[in-house]
Amino acid sequence: MPSATSSPPTSKTSNTFSEPDSKTTRKGNLSRLFWVIYSAMVFSTSMAIRGIQRKTASLKLGSISIRMHAFDIVESEIRSRLIPLLSSFSFVVAVSEFSEAFDLASKLSAQRGLPPSSLIWKAKSVLNLGSEKKLKQAIKMVDEFAQCMIKQRRVMGFSDKHDLLSRFMGTIDDDKYLRDIVVSFLLAGRDTVASGLTSFFWLLSRHPKVESYIRYELEKVMSLSSLSTDEDQQSVTFDQMREMHFLHAALCESLRLFPPVQIDSKFVQNEDGLPDCTFVKKGTRVTYHPYAMGRMERVWGSDCLEFNPERWLRNGRYIPENPYKYPVFQAGLRVCLGKEMALVEMKCVVLAIISRFNIRVTNPYQGPRFAPGLTATVRGGLPVIVQQRGV
Ligand code: HEM
């Protein structure tokens, strides 16, 4: 653990595995749960982006005020839905029709790229057959959901609202464009965050000391705060969370080993050369591989395969890496606009869960296996045992 904040976790936060007690534990599928919760949360902060809107979106998404707004929304979803769900004896996650349609559309779109030639899906699409027919139906349902959300917001009024959709509605009148913005952001921000959280909980199950240290850091920031005299303060505030350097480091380290976007391709617009002088002609597909890059000894050193949050800390403070070395959120012009928001969301969920529950993966020795798709979805989900702490 980092030297500047190296006091050992208290016994209260120590994290030895205890056998599940039938009254306090329940089994569930964490990745499925995150997907469902996030479909609601990301919608309330989602926004469109294309061409000229990128700049506007980038300013808005990166701003402290929008991150604080996201923090409030996520906190409220956690309190009203996630915690009650995890606390109930057996949790069955209700999957909405929309959620199913969204998953199907993502899966079928990704499957288009699997056969060697695109002719197959194009022919099926023209003839409206099989998977292409299902894809069209799924996309229609997703679009209708987004349209309905925009229509409702118009009826309810948006000028006094602070969420991103309302802010964009103030500048864009075209509802079809707004719909595409909502769907794009949902696509960009939903499964990525769910995937990152799922892998993180798998890693925590394998590294209980890291989990204990996050709990210790949480207790520390809360006790140092002037709010600590306020007996009503039950959960961390946005500012306190920003002081949690170890948590931030642990999430970055987890995303290094399990990036939600494992590979990403670009097509060359005009003939060009790569930095190593490889010639690339117009139309060439160039793929970079964040999953492989995060595990290269040449880049990360001999302990590249270890989960070691300390590699991100100097004197207890988080030091960011060069995004070209760590392209989990891409780098340069097309860098992820939701990076900061994603980290806020992930931190909120992690803190809410680990301060109240012990989450144990049922088979921690089996690493996550990913299904083919746009984002790294854990195949079959991540079966876990949830145990309420202190019971
Ligand atoms: C851990 C979570 C996330 C990861 C790892 C991630 C990663 C990425 C990556 C690699 C790209 C570049 C894709 C490309 O150029 O092909 C990207 C783009 C983008 N991301 Fe994220 N993302 C995450 C969460 C989010 C969230 C929560 C949002 C918004 C709510 C978001 C919004 C966007 C947008 C709008 C773009 C498109 C930027 C552009 O093309 O100009 N992302 N993301």
The complex's ipTM works out to: 0.98
Question: Does the beta carbon of 376 lie inside 6 Å of ligand 1?
Answer: no
Question: Does the beta carbon of 187 lie inside 6 Å of ligand 1?
Answer: no
User: Is 227's pLDDT higher than 60?
Assistant: no
- The region of weakest confidence among 220-229, 286-295, 331-340, 367-376 is 220-229
Rounded to an integer, the average pLDDT of 199-227 is 91
User: Is 153's pLDDT higher than 70?
Assistant: yes
Share of the chain above pLDDT 70, in %: 80
Cα of 244 vs its chain's centroid, Å: 18
Residue 67's pLDDT band (boundaries 50, 70, 90)?
A: confident
pLDDT at 363: 87
Tokens of 127: 């003839």
Residue 328's pLDDT band (boundaries 50, 70, 90)?
A: very high
Q: Which of 382, 378, 389, 375 has the alpha carbon at shortest distance from 188?
A: 375
pLDDT at 333: 83
Cα 289 from Cα 328, distance rounded (Å):
9
Cα 176 from Cα 171, distance rounded (Å):
14
Rounded to an integer, the average pLDDT of 196-206 is 96
DSSP 8-class letter at 14: -
Domain that holds residue 130: 3-388
Place of tokens 């019971």: 391
Question: Would the annotation count 348 as a binding residue?
Answer: no
- Indicate the length of the chain as a whole number: 391
Burial of 14 (0-12, 13-18, 19+ CB in 10 A): middle
Rounded to an integer, the average pLDDT of 56-71 is 72
**Helix pair 208-224, 175-206: axis angle to 10 deg:** 110
| Residue partners of 336: CB distance under 8 A and separation at least 6 | 188, 329, 330, 342
pLDDT tens-digit profile of 20-34? 333 344 555 555 555
190 C-alpha to center of ligand 1: Å? 10
Cα 255 from Cα 326, distance rounded (Å):
9
Q: Which atom of ligand 1 is nearest to the CA of 164?
A: 30
Residue 196's pLDDT band (boundaries 50, 70, 90)?
A: very high
**Terminal alpha carbon distance of the chain:** 28
CATH number of domain containing 218: 1.10.630.10
User: Ligand 1: which residue has its CA nearest to atom 20?
Assistant: 336
User: Ligand 1: which residue has its CA nearest to atom 29?
Assistant: 338
Number of structural domains, the chain?
1
Residue 311's pLDDT band (boundaries 50, 70, 90)?
A: very high
| Residue partners of 114: CB distance under 8 A and separation at least 6 | 372
Q: Ligand 1 pocket test: which of 37, 200, 334, 336 has the largest number of ligand atoms within 8 Å of its C-beta?
A: 336
Q: What is the DSSP string of 224-259?
A: HSGGGG-TT--S--HHHHHT-HHHHHHHHHHHHHS-
Cα 23 from Cα 391, distance rounded (Å):
9
Long-range contacts of 146-152 (CB under 8 A, 24+ apart): 146/179, 146/182, 146/183, 146/186, 147/175, 147/179, 149/43, 149/182, 150/175, 150/178, 150/179, 150/182, 151/175
10 C-alpha to center of ligand 1: Å? 38
Mean pLDDT over all residues of the chain? 81
Residue 212's pLDDT band (boundaries 50, 70, 90)?
A: very high
101 C-alpha to center of ligand 1: Å? 21
64 C-alpha to center of ligand 1: Å? 18
